[in-house]
């Protein structure tokens, strides 16, 4: 069930030309964005892109230099207290009182939020079960793994029953199995509870599995926004294709064959196969020329919905006017995402 589709006209998070400058440096520049109720939205970009500054403005913890932000119609600056009541925030490094159990930490959070005792105890039981932490609830949190702390952190955020949950790098440092469990839990918060989830992250592969839409953020600017399929389709319409290919025999002649295909922009070696960047779909031409040249293709895949490639393409389009700094950031960001994915496979 897609709850976001049922509330298409109900925007929970809105920014209008939101800008934050520190002197001449703009950490966030002219950000206009709308996120629907029940939607899981990924704000993706390398470290230093402006994601944290955006989050701070949404939480009312720093004032924008220009523009505005609102959550459920409440201005994040002028009505910061009301915003905090309806928003739960999960930082990248969740902190608990290590000498208290998970249950005791949740109880303390409930008391801080002024909840009645019965509501606190009922909610603790329900939330511990929801995040899969019932068995570990009475262990001291100092003994918890990072993944366990992240799950308890979600329960802690949900104690005040927020309409919106903002998560900062929720998958960082979690093993593959814990990652899958966390992704399932995040998805359920939107689909079952109708909560709006905003995830800030630089880990593309993990986040693309759970988000309804993504916004690609670079140096304070939103360079693209939409569903991953739509962004990939836009790339193809603009003439950006990426093809993986490998053949037997894997010799110099095969690389030369690839270099002489039509509309090739760049060829890279990636392990056992080549990656061919082009302005048209070369799969048919490659099939034909490989056959004519006596090569047997053992791997041929057109990359279509790979968020790594989508980000790379949009990033390189934007870097034409911004020099080599963006290129260095882009390469570091993308290689990190690929290394993570290969490690999980």
CB 161 within 8 A of CB 130: no
Domain ranges of the chain: 3-226, 238-303, 316-344
Please state which of the four CATH numbers 1.10.274.10, 3.40.630.40, 3.30.70.980, 3.30.70.100 is assigned to the domain occupying 238-303. Answer: 3.30.70.100
Beta bridge partners of 266: 277
Asked if pLDDT for residue 345 goes beyond 50, the answer is: no
Spatial distance between the Cα atoms of 131 and 234, rounded to a whole number of angstroms: 37
- Convert the pLDDT of each residue in 204-243 to its tens digit: 766 777 899 999 888 899 988 988 878 877 766 666 788 9
- Convert the pLDDT of each residue in 99-148 to its tens digit: 999 999 999 999 999 999 999 999 999 999 999 999 999 999 999 998 89
Global confidence as pTM: 0.76
Q: Domain 3-226 is of which CATH architecture?
A: 3-Layer(aba) Sandwich (3.40)
Strand runs (DSSP E) across 23-117, as ranges?
25-36, 40-44, 66-71, 74-75, 87-90
CB 144 within 8 A of CB 136: yes
Grouping H, G, I as helix, E, B as strand and the rest as coil, residue 64 is coil
Q: How confident is the model at residue 331 (pLDDT cuts 50, 70, 90)?
A: very low
Chain CA centroid to CA 97, Å: 28
- Convert the pLDDT of each residue in 28-72 to its tens digit: 999 999 999 999 999 988 888 899 999 999 999 999 999 999 999
């Amino acid at each position: 069930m897609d709850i976001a589709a049922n509330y298409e006209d109900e925007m929970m998070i809105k920014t209008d030309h939101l800008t934050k400058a520190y002197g001449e440096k703009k950490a966030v520049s002219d950000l206009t964005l709308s996120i629907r109720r029940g939607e899981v939205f990924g704000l993706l970009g390398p470290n230093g892109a402006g994601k944290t500054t955006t989050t701070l403005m949404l939480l009312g913890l720093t004032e924008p230099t220009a523009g505005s932000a609102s959550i459920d119609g409440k201005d994040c600056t002028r009505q910061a207290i009301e915003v905090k009541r309806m928003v739960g925030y999960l930082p990248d490094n969740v902190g608990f009182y290590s000498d208290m159990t998970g249950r005791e930490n949740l109880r303390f959070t409930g008391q801080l939020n002024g909840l009645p005792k019965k509501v606190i105890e009922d909610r603790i039981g329900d939330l511990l079960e929801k995040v899969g932490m019932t068995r570990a609830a009475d262990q001291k949190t100092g003994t918890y793994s990072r993944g366990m702390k992240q799950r308890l952190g979600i329960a802690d955020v949900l104690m005040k029953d927020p309409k919106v949950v903002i998560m900062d790098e929720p998958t960082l440092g979690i093993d593959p199995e814990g990652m899958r469990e966390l992704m399932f839990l995040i998805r359920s918060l939107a689909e079952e509870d109708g909560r709006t989830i905003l995830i800030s992250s630089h880990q593309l592969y993990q986040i693309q599995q759970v988000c309804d839409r993504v916004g690609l953020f670079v140096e304070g600017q939103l360079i693209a926004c939409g569903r991953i399929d739509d962004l990939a389709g836009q790339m193809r319409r603009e003439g950006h294709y990426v093809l993986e290919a490998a053949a037997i025999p894997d010799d110099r002649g095969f690389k030369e064959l690839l270099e002489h295909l039509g509309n090739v922009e760049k060829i890279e070696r990636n392990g056992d196969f080549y990656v061919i960047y082009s302005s048209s779909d070369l799969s048919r031409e490659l099939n034909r020329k490989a056959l004519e040249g006596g090569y047997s293709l053992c791997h041929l895949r057109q990359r279509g919905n790979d968020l790594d490639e989508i980000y790379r393409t949009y990033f390189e389009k934007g870097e034409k006017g911004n020099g080599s700094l963006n290129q260095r950031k882009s390469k570091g960001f993308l290689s990190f995402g690929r290394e993570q994915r290969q490690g999980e496979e």
